A and B are shown apart, each in its own frame.
Chain A
């Protein structure tokens, strides 16, 4: 179909959890591929693996700078994609790969892993370890609307994607500490509990309504901070949650 968007998927040092999360959209994924997305290349889910020119590429995993091929693939991805989406905690923030000290078989000298934003310019972040199927779905639908939609749909998609673009500009590190430095220290925490709910490793509890982190458990995925309504919040988008949810569900029928 001519008006599909072309999409690629580059897999660097990630555990394939992001791939699985994408696949866990089940029928929704089939609808996406059927109606909106022409998947040009992707290890695991597509026949073609080599990077091609696309509208949007998703990158899973961080980039080991000791791995020449990974660095090249990442740069090629940037050169050939209009929009680069860092998918998952490792691509956005390094996540668990931040803890690498090398020494693993069969590439013991691979030890220096960078979030992709430290190597190339990234346009959109989808944080989370693993990112959720619904978040990937929502971004995919919005990317389609941005590129192929009516004026109104483009505006909606721009507003929806804006905070994820701002997250990409903000930086490449994440930690429980972000809640301390950017939310509590800034006098913004109101004790909703979203951060604790979002944490994949249960590093966060609440004491007297405020988040308390076990920092040794934290894998630096960025889910807590980005889920927090006091990190970023768009009234324009979230106040229309009902209509937007319905539109996304209708698009996937």
Chain B
């Protein structure tokens, strides 16, 4: 046991008390519920989330600048958007297992979108980007103090969009548009079809499709978020939640008092923190090894190490 879970003030297993959110959410609906509550309370004016391309096509004014052909239907491709209503937050709920560059909107959210208090959800690396941006705001004038709530989601790895097509259409033999949900859990990549079919792929199939940049990543549970959450450690339909910063503690406390969440002590649930710790350690150990291998990659030539 060491620093693999980051600093946190409290950790619980939780799920939203809003049935509608649970119907759309990936796990316990922590992200969507917390943003919805923060919006109601005026803690944030809006949030940067990963919407579907279809949503971005319908609402280009809410989306990141993107030059791709929006007429071309690409199910499960996320596009970062700034949303200011609970309905739009709900529309963006659920995990898309491919890259959504949410931080790309962090400045624009405070400019043309006019938000003074920005919420953002992202993977651990995106939380690192947010915090680097607050301490070293090289091109992010006035952005740092506008970040009112940064919610991190656990992440073992991410995929390019084309990898997901490959996994779903080639390996799982399903059409992208017929997929209801994708999930990584219990050592498998799960694809749930809209008509009830379920396909599971062993992770040894998915590994080669991972985004290479993930192989130097040293954070599993979004150590730098205000609140971070993921499914691992908690029972199905529940989420493991780390409350980390002062901001996170304050927002979480208010949301709890308002009855947003049902919780169970993390010590009481199975598999609990033991599994989270194990997976975090596995990820960090594996990727540290990759960094070491990069140092002696060529003949007298190293690949670059970003960490100083």
Contact = CB atoms under 8 A, between A and B. Distances in A.
A227 B139 contact: yes
Interface string B204-223: 00000001111111100001
Interface stretch (B14-22, B84-92, B154-162, B269-277): B154-162
Interface residues of A, number: 61
A131 B138 contact: yes
B66 A197 contact: no
Contacts of A196: 64-65, 101, 104
B132 A227 contact: yes
B306 A197 contact: no
B137 A135 contact: yes
A195 B102 CA distance: 11
A132 B138 contact: yes
A229 B128 contact: yes
Contacts of B108: 197
B103 A194 contact: yes
Interface centre among A188, A221, A226, A237 (most CB of B within 10 A): A188
A190 B143 CA distance: 22
Contact of B141 (A134, A206, A239): A134
B296 to A, nearest CB: 15
B69 to A, nearest CB: 11
Interface of A: 21, 126-128, 130-135, 138, 160, 162-164, 166, 182, 186-200, 202, 205-210, 212, 221-224, 226-235, 237-239, 241-242, 244-245
Given A192-B129, A196-B64, A239-B224, 8 more contacts: A132-B142, A189-B213, A193-B106, A205-B67, A229-B132, A234-B307, A237-B135, A238-B224
27 contacts: A21-B141, A133-B142, A134-B144, A190-B99, A190-B125, A190-B158, A192-B128, A193-B101, A193-B105, A193-B126, A196-B101, A197-B104, A197-B106, A200-B139, A205-B65, A206-B101, A207-B67, A209-B161, A222-B138, A229-B125, A231-B306, A235-B218, A238-B131, A239-B6, A239-B7, A239-B223, A241-B135
